[in-house]
């Protein structure tokens, strides 16, 4: 699972958003700089991203499911909330790790790396939300929002 999330967040080897040192930290490079036995942040943050996106999808399409919240504009509001929440999760976890000094001192990790990883997580959460809400199978159990996607009301 770690390799799946690592390849996803590193954009399948392109990784334009943050340094390889940040990638090593997120893979679980331990504080003693010896092996990948530390906390696997890619996996944890990846599952948080999936859970957050699924929660807000469920909230919009199955819990609120109101005729007032079925427009394309409301879809974009939920998408913005999802993107912001997932950006904050992916930014704050590594940032707090940097501030606390809980990483290998041989790694050069900066705040811009945290921002880049946050952006990567935000983009993947948006893509996941767009895919989930585009597939009709998931939406058909909604009464009012079953036709609501990002491209049509």
Scan for tokens 């036995």, then name that residue: 37
Cα separation of 7 and 25, whole Å? 14
- Give per-residue pLDDT as tens, 102-132: 888 899 999 999 999 999 999 999 999 999 9
Residue 144 lies in a domain: no
Q: How many domains does the chain have?
A: 1
Residue 51 lies in a domain: yes
Mean pLDDT of all residues in the chain?
90
- Give per-residue pLDDT as tens, 14-62: 878 899 999 999 999 988 989 999 889 999 999 999 999 999 999 998 8
Residue 149 lies in a domain: no
Residue range(s) defining the domain that contains residue 89:
2-139
End-to-end CA distance of the chain: 36
- Give per-residue pLDDT as tens, 126-153: 999 999 998 888 878 888 887 887 776 5
Residue 152 lies in a domain: no
Q: Cβ distance 77 to 56 under 8 Å?
A: no
């Amino acid at each position: 699972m770690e390799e799946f999330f690592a390849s996803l967040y590193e954009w399948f080897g392109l990784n334009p958003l943050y340094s390889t040192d940040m990638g090593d930290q997120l893979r679980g490079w331990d504080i003693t700089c010896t092996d990948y036995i530390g906390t696997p942040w890619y996996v944890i943050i990846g599952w948080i991203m999936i859970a957050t996106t699924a929660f807000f999808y469920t909230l919009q399409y199955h819990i609120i499911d109101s005729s007032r919240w079925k427009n394309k504009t409301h879809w974009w509001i939920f998408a913005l909330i999802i993107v912001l929440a997932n950006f904050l999760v992916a930014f704050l976890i590594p940032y707090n790790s940097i501030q606390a000094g809980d990483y290998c001192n041989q790694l050069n990790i900066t705040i811009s790396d945290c921002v880049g990883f946050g952006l990567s997580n935000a983009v993947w959460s948006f893509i996941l939300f767009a895919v989930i809400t585009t597939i009709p199978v998931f939406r058909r159990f909604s009464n009012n929002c079953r036709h609501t996607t990002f491209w049509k009301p």
